[in-house]
Amino acid sequence: MNEMEFNNHCDEIMLAIEEAVDSSPEDIDYETSAGVLTLTIEINGSKVIVSRQPTQAQIWIAAKSGGYYCNHVSGSWICTTTSETLGLLLHRVCFEQHGGEIVFDI
């Protein structure tokens, strides 16, 4: 995947995350700046940060439970340490940070 394809994939993913937050009843806010999407769990102010890393062709997630790196494998983004899909990883870390049962269909 070249850098343009990578950035297009990331744009679609960031938009899908924003749409999941918007359509969820959970109290989570988001802000996007310079390719970084910050999810704020309003109940406690904790954050989950989603960032694109074009030089590594990875999507990185920073959460209270740690830092995670996702690679594009056979059409899905897969965490290198947990083997979760990006959507399941985001669901889990948001739940762990008291963000509720938000579903990320990505």
Task: Give me the pLDDT at residue 99, please.
Answer: 87
Place of tokens 């059409």: 75
Indicate the Cα dihedral angle 31, 9, 17, 47, nearest 10°: -50
What is the tens place of the pLDDT at every residue in 60-98? 999 999 999 999 999 999 999 999 999 999 999 999 999
Phi-psi domain of 56 (left: phi exceeds 0; alpha: psi -120 through 50; beta: other): alpha
Percentage of the chain modeled with pLDDT above 90 = 92
| Predicted local confidence at residue 1, as pLDDT | 85
**Averaged confidence pLDDT in the chain:** 95
pTM of the full structure: 0.93
CA distance 90 to 102: 9
Instruction: Tell the residue number behind the tokens 């990875």, with chain if given.
Output: 58
Average pLDDT over residues 13-40: 96
* Homologous superfamily of the 3-96 domain (CATH): Frataxin/CyaY (3.30.920.10)
